[in-house]
Amino acid sequence: MSTEVLKSKTVTGTVIGSKMDKTISVRIERTVKHPLYGKYIRRSTKVMAHDEINECNEGDVVIIESSRPLSKNKSWRLQKVVSKAQTV
């Protein structure tokens, strides 16, 4: 067997929930082309990600990477915070 290093998939998203301990909800938005009309439509996916030190709040833009399953719903890990949300 060869020893290959698998690269983690990284995506950028917006934090939509951070009320759980060490867990954040992230919305990942993408654009897809409609098969018949050709118009581009926004689609989104909501995933749970592991935030070890509870540094994220709602509205932050983050980069998350795929990882092994950490719980029933979590298989993503926070890599870095791109920008913090404006607080009023």
| CA gap 69, 71 in Å, rounded | 6
Q: Where are the domains of the chain?
A: 10-83
C-alpha closest to that of 62 among 19, 24, 32: 24
Q: State pLDDT tens for residues 16-28.
A: 999 999 999 999 9
Stated pTM of the model: 0.85
Confirm if 85 and 57 have CB atoms less than 8 A apart.
Answer: yes
pLDDT at position 4 is 64
Q: 10-83 adopts what CATH topology?
A: OB fold (Dihydrolipoamide Acetyltransferase, E2P) (2.40.50)
pLDDT confidence tier of residue 2, bands split at 50, 70 and 90? low
